[in-house]
Amino acid sequence: MLTKTAFILLALTSLASAQDHSFTPVDIEEGRRIYRSDCTGCHGGEGASVAGIDLVRAKYRLATSDEDLVKTILNGVPGTGMPASVMPHSRAPMILAYLRSLRDAKGQKSIAAPSGDPARGKLLFESRIGCAGCHRIRNEGGRSGPDLSDIGHLLNPMEIETEILDPDAQYPFGSRPVRVVLKGGSALTGLLLNQDTYSVQLVDQEGSLRSLQRSELNRVQSAPSWMPSYRGKVDAQELADLIAYLRRQKGTQ
Ligand code: HEC
Ligand code: HEC
């Protein structure tokens, strides 16, 4: 299986050749953020909610090239439900990079039992296997991994399974570990949390929030995850129980 880094590089190379533009993990994360806020309402989390169009499997009605797609995203499709957007031009290719990263992640087979019990999953999550030592759910648990209180909205069951079995072989998705190299040469590793035009926010491995000005950054690279793989450490039923529990975590509802 490809490593996370290889996946990102692969996604970057194919897009770079198509568009003469290279995408960092930060760009893909930005694409995810915009997709989640501006596009899921109509196209759905899986990209297939508009009839005849599947954004993850690259099934379109009209577009035949990346250039067409960027134009569609910016200008909409006049006379249809697809609205024009006021986002900066540079953002549209980041959405495509994100959608491509999801496509690369398709095609895996589940090894979890067919149905899981969320109550057993909760016990397991909080037990010996240590998930809660790194992850918080509704303010309980550690901080060196992402907060999972809304994970049921963010990842589908297969994505959760892949994360548990191969945290480092995952596609660029959700909160990703990055290594940030500053202009002075020093580096820090953490989870990418947020970013805007001027700054990038990370949570470092100790769980502290770090905010960096873009002007101080030399580069942002993907880094190996510090989440251990649970392949061979949980059985098929335990895996299904964990997934059932995490799928229920949908924010404040
Ligand atoms: C208000 C609903 C709505 C929103 C919001 C929306 N879309 Fe669409 N989108 C549509 C509809 C409906 C179509 C089908 C248009 C048609 O009939 O050809 C479409 C078509 C598309 C197509 C396919 C064009 C083709 O050639 O077939 C792409 C790509 C696309 N949308 C991307 C996006 C992205 C990316 C976003 C977020 C920035 C987005 N859309 C936001 C409703 C929406
Ligand atoms: C040593 C700390 C650590 C432990 C223990 C740990 N994780 Fe993680 N986990 C992380 C980190 C760091 C990430 C983010 C990087 C990545 O995607 O691998 C993460 C990511 C995740 C994600 C994806 C979150 C997102 O927003 O994309 C899920 C789901 C997850 N872990 C579930 C679990 C479960 C279930 C367990 C126990 C079986 C577990 N983790 C144990 C550190 C940990």
Give per-residue pLDDT as tens, 169-228: 654 445 678 888 999 999 999 888 777 778 888 888 888 889 999 899 888 877 888 899
* Chain region(s) in the chain for CATH 1.10.760.10: 4-105, 118-170+227-247
131 contacts 143 by C-beta, under 8 angstroms: no
Q: What is the mean pLDDT of the chain?
A: 82
> Please, how many CA atoms are within 13 Å of residue 83, restricted to the half-sphere of its CB?
8
Which residues line the pocket of ligand 2, CB cutoff 6 A? 125, 129-131, 133-135, 144-146, 148, 151, 154, 160, 163-164, 167, 170, 173-177, 191, 225-228, 230, 242, 246
Class of domain 4-105: mainly alpha
Residue among 220, 201, 17, 206 nearest 100 (CA): 17
Rounded to the nearest whole angstrom, what is the distance from the C-alpha of residue 89 to the centroid of ligand 2?
Answer: 33
Rounded to the nearest whole angstrom, what is the distance from the C-alpha of residue 146 to the centroid of ligand 2?
Answer: 7
Q: Which ligand is nearest the CA of 241, by number?
A: 2
Question: Which protein residue's CA is at the shortest distance from atom 19 of ligand 2?
Answer: 145
Residue among 102, 86, 89 nearest 38 (CA): 86
54 contacts 43 by C-beta, under 8 angstroms: no
pLDDT at 17 over 70: no
Please give the Cα distance from 159 to 80 (Å, whole number).
32
Please write the tens of the pLDDT for every residue from 223-234. Answer: 888 899 999 999
Rounded to the nearest whole angstrom, what is the distance from the C-alpha of residue 129 to the centroid of ligand 1?
Answer: 43
CATH topology classification for 118-170+227-247: Cytochrome Bc1 Complex; Chain D, domain 2 (1.10.760)
Rounded to the nearest whole angstrom, what is the distance from the C-alpha of residue 81 to the centroid of ligand 2?
Answer: 38
**pTM score of the predicted model:** 0.59
Q: CA quadruple 145, 150, 152, 155: dihedral positive or negative? A: negative
pLDDT at 123: 96
